[in-house]
Amino acid sequence: MLLLVDLDGVVYRSTEAVPGVASVLAARAAAGDDVVYVTNNATAYHADYVPRLAGHGAPVGPDRVVTSARASAQWIRDQLPSVRRVLAVGTSGLERELREAGFDVVSVGHAATRMNQEGIDGWAAAGHPDVVVVGLDPQMSYLRVAAAADCVRAGAVLIATNRDPVFPVEAGLRPGAGAVVAAVATASRTEPRAVIGKPGPYLLELGARTVGADVRRGVMIGDAMSDIAAGKAVGARTILMLTGVTSRAAADALAGDDRPTRVAEDAAGLEAALGELAAGGRD
């Protein structure tokens, strides 16, 4: 089977491993399953996840991690082949993914600094980019939003890595990429041409493509309803893990098309669910 696995809330929570999940995945990989990790997180370069996952005992290689930043770069190559210059609103991880895909990348921080120092608009400060890609930007500021919005109003295509409104940290919730996207979209009066991450299908489709598998034969394993919606969008089976953001009460309240194929409380439940699906269970 192809296993498409979310990260935070499934394999780990913050800095701590979810007990037993990595071992279950390692056993499935040893039995011949393809394990690919698909995450909306756009802040880190995909290969940077490898030592962390390997440290938890999960089966992993750099080609087996697909982030929304990596997927955004690939989407632009697939859908907008004439693009050369990209303004990146986010972290160095997003910038690195875009550069590795062959784009001339300008950071929004650089553009904002030029705006401030030279008294020019964001479009000129960024060197007239073809595309603006927006992810989570921990350094978000008024001038950064202004620079990105100027570029979009001038004709650059707006792409969102994802629209997650918040993300969890140990102290609670922090604004997610969706908050930054909303600011740029509002200021430019333009909605994104594409939203790359879950609950859309592209992240999962690219994950399947990296190992030459049919995404419709995959199993999406996630802890959020966006994971389940993405799995359903590509026709895959789904397992909702209760190790992250979704409670048992919330899972039990799901009805009809919203229900996942299986619900797993923990690693033992995941192991059992995967065994059933491998034996041919769909419903």
- How far is Cα 120 from Cα 193, in angstroms, rounded to an integer? 26
Instruction: Compute the chain's Rg from CA coordinates.
Output: 19
Angle at 199 between CA 196 and CA 204, to 5 degrees: 65
Q: Which of the four pLDDT bands, split at 50, 70 and 90, describes residue 15? A: confident
Say yes or no to pLDDT of 170 above 80.
no
- Annotated catalytic residues are 6, 8
The predicted-structure confidence for 47-74, as pLDDT tens digits, reads as follows 999 999 999 999 999 999 999 999 999 9
- How far is Cα 96 from Cα 16, in angstroms, rounded to an integer? 26
CATH number of 80-195: 3.40.50.1000
Residues 198/227, Cβ–Cβ less than 8 Å: yes
The predicted-structure confidence for 105-157, as pLDDT tens digits, reads as follows 999 999 999 999 999 999 999 999 999 999 999 999 999 999 999 999 999 99
Specify the domain boundaries for CATH 3.40.50.1000 within the chain: 2-40+198-278, 80-195
Is CATH 2.160.10.10 correct for 2-40+198-278?
Answer: no
The predicted-structure confidence for 20-31, as pLDDT tens digits, reads as follows 999 999 999 999
Residue 247 three-state SS:
coil
Q: How far is CA 27 from CA 31, 45, 204, 241, 270, in A?
A: 6, 26, 22, 18, 12
Locus of tokens 């590795």: 100
The predicted-structure confidence for 71-106, as pLDDT tens digits, reads as follows 999 999 999 999 999 999 999 999 999 999 999 999
Q: Which of the four pLDDT bands, split at 50, 70 and 90, describes residue 281? A: low
First to last CA, the chain: 16
What mean pLDDT is reported for the chain? 95
What pairing do the DSSP bridges indicate for beta strands 16-17 and 12-13? Answer: antiparallel
- How far is Cα 220 from Cα 225, in angstroms, rounded to an integer? 11
